[in-house]
Amino acid sequence: MARAASESKPQSSSGRFGRDSSDDNDKPTDLPKESWPAILKRTVKQFSEDQLTTWAAALTYFGVLSLFPMILALVSVLGVIGPSATQPLLDQLGTVAPGPAKDILTNVLTSLEQNQGGSTVALIIGLAAAIWSASGYISAFMDASNNVWDVPEGRPIWKKLPIRLGVTVVMLVLLTVTSLAIVFTGPVAQEVGDLIGLGGTFVDVWNIAKWPVLLVIVSFMVSLLYWACPNVKQPGFPWITPGGVLAVILWIAASALFALYVANFSSYNKTYGSLGGVIVFLTWLWISNIIILLGAEFNSEMERSKAIQEGHPPDKEPYLPLRDDTKLKD
């Protein structure tokens, strides 16, 4: 736990607490095969001890607060392209969101598209509100990440706030790119295909290629959260992490299974009436955040295993040096 960070711990070769992030053995393939069962076992154990389902509930709350300003900004951006640009996005929502969750998002998107006034004004206001609201989610994820890595928050507010806003901006840009990739289909893709002389061939290729591209972008977004949010000095920037890949795969599988369950076996609408869709939507967001935190825990336990391999005491925390301890010196 984070409180253990204040106890006596061995220092790294750099003179800071925890394993030196510049040490060797930084690739997952460098770990011996026999260490993987222990990593998985500790991941499950620490997931429970760190109370990550509770943290996922907190992230769900902040996610809901930030969701609708982000959608407003997204609709404003798509509105610059044209009124019909949101329809392909609406058509694809069912591939990632369970039925009732899709209905809620569809209604919000449609309502915002119909009611937005001046596109430029809505874009500016929406972006400002989205950045600030979404940064609340990033702030909560920073706290949850510190809990996962068993480290205290040593960054003062004047250092933490720029990170919080910077990560938020990057995430919103990537979310916009992801949405545009989804919108970039049908007539739009056909026009581009005609422009470069490939015609329908380009449309066929893009309809297949866009999903791996989107998968890479989403994996990168998750890896960015894992790298920037915790107060630990990690070895370089991991473009794609094992925990990020695990989280994306589990999220796709969980969303599909949850959608199947909601469509065929649940009785949310019978039990909760008109609130059934809201319950399903919140449950889906909660499950999604659980999976993201599980991926972070998996990355953390991988680093713990590397530290143990290098002689770090198994029960001593932290096992990576702190990124910043300014606040702890006050």
Which position has the higher pLDDT, 242 or 23?
242
Quick one: pLDDT at residue 127? Answer: 74
pTM attached to this predicted model: 0.78
Which position has the higher pLDDT, 28 or 144?
144
Distance CA 280, CA 173 (A): 27
Mean pLDDT value across residues 133-149: 92
Distance CA 273, CA 99 (A): 15
Number of H-type helices and E-type strands within the chain = 11, 0
255, pLDDT greater than 70: yes
pLDDT digits (tens, 9 = 90+) for 97-136: 555 555 666 666 666 555 555 556 666 776 787 788 889 9
- End-to-end CA distance of the chain: give it in Å, rounded: 21
> Letter for the amino acid at 94?
G
| 3 state DSSP class of 322 | strand
Domain boundaries of the chain, sorted by first residue: 43-316
